[in-house]
């Protein structure tokens, strides 16, 4: 006899601020949510040290500790949190099929996708070594810690330009490394960077190594890919702004996405074109990418899932 498949009202794919907030709201609405955490339980914030811009933590909080608080709150209301990853989905029927760890199929009336995005890194061992200790992929999150200091930022697109001008308000000097001989950013953003006096742009320049004292960043070794000359730039912070990749590959056959892979939702909503599938957090947000905005969309997704199920029940 075939094994009976588990059937749940609400399945949340991915943890982090969006997933945990969706879980808190869904559990309080008695949707008995099941969460599949993904391999990085707690998401990007678990690799962040100090979080000082999330409301309710006046003294700041460590990223992993904050995610632990979120998890406990979701569990307190009855969320069934399971460590694992979703290997494939089938959204073709009225009930959604989700395969976990390549061997267990769960049927779900509603699915909330909160798989987040991952920052793209240069791939240097020294970058990994000092990640969280001077190396960051989010100027808005971490720029404050480098007030009145000298920093380096790498990138040539709109995000890099925006983050460089943001850092320039806080730091005494921002050195911007652009790999080619021009920006990829829009004219308006380039104009803003060029008109900020404490930003120095080094074109045709790549990062060779991040230098530190074992605890924090002290300088960045760069080389010019035209002249092949190397130089060391004194800096206490190194920001990587070469883009993010949303963790959405498993949904590409089912959900509408932009060219990068961010899932497209209906305006003013977390709903997708597939009935009963909602997306929150960085899997759909390429603009703000903050913990607090992710949490807000997690709340929206759970409320929308609840309304969807209530309407469905009423029709039946």
Q: Is 294 helix (H, G, I), strand (E, B) or coil?
A: helix
Q: The tokens of 6 are what?
A: 């588990």
Catalytic member of 10, 141, 171, 280: 141
The single-letter DSSP state of residue 146 is G
Distance of alpha carbon 101 from alpha carbon 270, whole angstroms: 26
Take residue 143 and report the two structure tokens written for it.
């720029």
Specify the DSSP class assigned to residue 190.
Answer: H
What's the CA gap between 234 and 167, in Å, rounded?
16
Region of 30 please: left (phi>0), alpha (psi -120 to 50) or beta.
left
What stretches of 159-216 adopt beta strand conformation (E)? Answer: 173-177, 199-202, 205-212
308: number of Cβ within 10 Å: 18
10 noted as active-site residue: no
Over the range 165-186, which residues count as b (16 or more CB within 10 Å of their CB) and which as e? Answer: bbbbebbebbbbbbbeeebebe
Q: Active-site residue among 138, 171, 280, 285?
A: 138
C-alpha of 275 from chain center = 25
Out of 142, 171, 282, 285, the active site residue is: 142
Quote the strand ranges of 70-132, DSSP E: 80-82, 86-90, 96-100, 104-113, 117-119
Beta-bridge partners for 177: 154, 202
Question: By C-alpha distance, which of 126, 129, 175 is closest to 151?
Answer: 175
Active site residue 138: yes
Residue 115 tokens, joined: 């798989």
What is the rounded distance in angstroms from the CA atom of residue 104 to the CA atom of residue 124? 37
Task: Determine whether 280 is an active site residue.
Answer: no
Report the DSSP beta bridge partners of residue 96: 108
150 bridge partner residues: 173
Q: Which residues are catalytic?
A: 138, 141-142
């Amino acid at each position: 006899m075939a094994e009976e498949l588990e059937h749940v009202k609400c399945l949340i794919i991915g943890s982090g601020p969006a997933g945990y907030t969706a879980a808190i709201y869904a559990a309080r609405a008695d949707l008995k949510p099941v969460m599949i955490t993904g391999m990085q339980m707690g998401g990007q914030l678990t690799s962040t040290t100090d979080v000082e811009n999330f409301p309710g933590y006046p003294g700041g909080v460590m990223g992993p500790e904050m995610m632990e608080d979120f998890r406990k709150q979701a569990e307190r209301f009855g969320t069934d949190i399971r460590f694992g990853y979703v290997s494939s989905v089938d959204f073709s029927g009225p009930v959604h099929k989700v395969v976990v760890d390549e061997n267990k199929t769960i049927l779900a009336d509603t699915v909330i996708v909160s798989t987040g995005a991952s920052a793209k890194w240069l791939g240097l061992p020294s970058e990994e070594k000092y990640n969280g200790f001077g190396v960051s992929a989010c100027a808005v999150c971490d720029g404050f810690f480098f007030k009145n200091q000298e920093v380096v930022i790498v990138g040539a697109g709109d995000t890099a330009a925006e983050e460089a001008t943001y850092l320039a308000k806080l730091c005494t000097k921002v050195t911007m490394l652009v790999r080619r001989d021009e920006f990829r950013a829009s004219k308006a953003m380039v104009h803003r960077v060029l008109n900020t006096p404490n930003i120095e742009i080094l074109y045709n320049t790549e990062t060779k190594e991040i230098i530190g004292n074992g605890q924090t960043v002290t300088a960045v070794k760069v080389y010019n890919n035209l002249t092949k000359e190397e130089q060391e730039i004194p800096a206490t912070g190194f920001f990587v702004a070469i883009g993010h990749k949303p963790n959405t590959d498993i949904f590409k056959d089912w959900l509408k996405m932009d060219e990068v892979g961010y899932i497209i939702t209906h305006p003013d909503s977390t709903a997708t074109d597939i009935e009963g599938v909602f997306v929150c957090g960085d899997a759909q947000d390429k603009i703000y990418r903050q913990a607090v905005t992710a949490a807000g969309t997690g709340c929206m997704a759970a409320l929308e899932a609840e309304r969807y199920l209530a309407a469905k029940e009423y029709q039946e």
